Amino acid sequence: MTIPTDIADAIFASFKAAKNVLIISHRGPDPDTLGSNLVLRKILEDMGKKVTSACVDEVPHTYQIVPDIQTFVTDFNPKDYDLFIAVDAGSISQANFPFKYPEIVEKNFINIDHHPSNEGYGTLNLVMDKAASATFVIYHLFQHWNIEITPYIATLLLYGLYYDTGSFMHSNTCDAVLEMASELLVLGADQELIIKSLYQNKTINQLRLWGRALENMELTSSNVAVAAVTEDDFKATDATHNDLSGLIDYVSSTKGSNFATLLSSQEDGTIKGSFRTRRDDVNVSALAQNFGGGGHKKASGFNIKGKIKRTSQWSIVGE
């Protein structure tokens, strides 16, 4: 993948000029946005900058075994920073903080992403929509900048790549992805830690929550696999909203489905929707955009006001 050299150089110049930097991961954080955040934080700290990692949502417990992921903050004072960076956030709504602090996108705001739906909301934008992950973009940035990739950095870069390719099962897995993964393993990436975080670190409450969702899921007449998680489900299992991470991948494995939908009640009174498909002729990003969301052709999401209700089938009703 070829990085636009003018944008890459402008980003690095902004890094050098900054003193206090805030790096934003998207709401409902996953390993790609978290890994991207922390590797940028590492090189900025090595440059002598004061750096804070932020996400409006708490980081799921399954990811917190990875070094430094537990250091994210959920709020901040914009006046404390002279450079803002959003990573892997396909829209302002995903970055979320610009809603609360709209002035930050009018300052030095760098937007690094790989979502086709990203409209370039930063003052400086690097959006590579053919990249498999945000860490894939950053890996190539580091190559352009001649950044040494330590085992710590290699682990975080592979973490994001592993997640966004579905452990190399998704259609975005290509020769360049496998070459990058191979190189990161040579450089000391801790694959065992990544696998443990993604697949071997679930609580009993999380599994019980998944069980309720899978028990009540349905396959519609249009061959859409639909699962929903209500507030009653969270209360019955004593699980958290972060425990939903990874569930959509099981729903999308339903035989005969055109695409999968996971609806979940959020603490702020909204509904979070996630879409996944394995078909080349289905574009769930376009579907998510109808609800103010976005993402990739085969993986997207949205947030909308309303409540989940089940009559003959799962649906969203207005407040």
Would you place residue 209 in the very low, low, confident or very high pLDDT band (cuts 50, 70, 90)? very high
Of residues 124 and 117, more confidently modeled: 124
User: What is the pLDDT, as a whole number, of residue 37?
Assistant: 99
Contact 207, 239 (CB under 8 A): no
d(CA 140, CA 125): 15
Q: Indicate if the pLDDT at residue 319 is higher than 60.
A: no
Q: What's the token pair of residue 234?
A: 């969270």
User: What is the pLDDT, as a whole number, of residue 126?
Assistant: 98
User: What is the pLDDT, as a whole number, of residue 314?
Assistant: 66
- Percent with pLDDT over 90 in the chain: 77
User: Which of 26-35, 158-167, 256-265, 292-301 shows the lowest mean pLDDT across its residues?
Assistant: 292-301
User: What is the pLDDT, as a whole number, of residue 98?
Assistant: 87
How confident is the model over 17-37, as a mean pLDDT?
96
d(CA 269, CA 307): 7
Q: What share of the chain is helix, strand, coil (3-state, %, to 5)?
A: 40, 20, 40
User: What is the pLDDT, as a whole number, of residue 197?
Assistant: 94
47-74 confidence digits (pLDDT tens): 999 999 999 999 988 899 999 999 999 9
Q: Please state the pTM of the whole predicted model.
A: 0.88
Would you place residue 311 in the very low, low, confident or very high pLDDT band (cuts 50, 70, 90)? low
User: What is the pLDDT, as a whole number, of residue 312?
Assistant: 59
Alpha carbon separation from 24 to 18, 73, 210 (Å, rounded): 16, 10, 29
User: Residue 298 has what DSSP assignment?
Assistant: S
- Percent with pLDDT over 70 in the chain: 97
- Rounded to the nearest integer, the mean pLDDT of the chain is 93
User: What is the pLDDT, as a whole number, of residue 269?
Assistant: 83
Q: Are strands 224-229 and 218-219 parallel, antiparallel or unpaired?
A: antiparallel
d(CA 62, CA 280): 31
How confident is the model over 121-134, as a mean pLDDT?
96
Nearest to 294 by CA among 94, 127, 172, 117: 117
* Amino acid (1-letter code) at residue 42: K
Q: Indicate if the pLDDT at residue 248 is higher than 90.
A: yes
How confident is the model over 193-208, as a mean pLDDT?
95
Would you place residue 139 in the very low, low, confident or very high pLDDT band (cuts 50, 70, 90)? very high
Q: Indicate if the pLDDT at residue 318 is higher than 70.
A: no
How confident is the model over 11-22, as a mean pLDDT?
98
Q: Indicate if the pLDDT at residue 121 is higher than 90.
A: yes
Torsion over CA of 286, 291, 293 and 297, rounded to 10 degrees?
Answer: -20
Of residues 207 and 171, more confidently modeled: 207
Would you place residue 292 in the very low, low, confident or very high pLDDT band (cuts 50, 70, 90)? confident
d(CA 299, CA 309): 24
User: What is the pLDDT, as a whole number, of residue 140?
Assistant: 98
Torsion over CA of 234, 239, 244 and 250, rounded to 10 degrees?
Answer: -90
Which residue segments constitute the domains of the chain, with CATH numbers given? 5-197 (3.90.1640.10), 204-317 (3.10.310.30)
Residue 20's beta-bridge partner residues? Answer: 50
Nearest to 274 by CA among 283, 262, 264, 285: 262
Of residues 122 and 106, more confidently modeled: 122
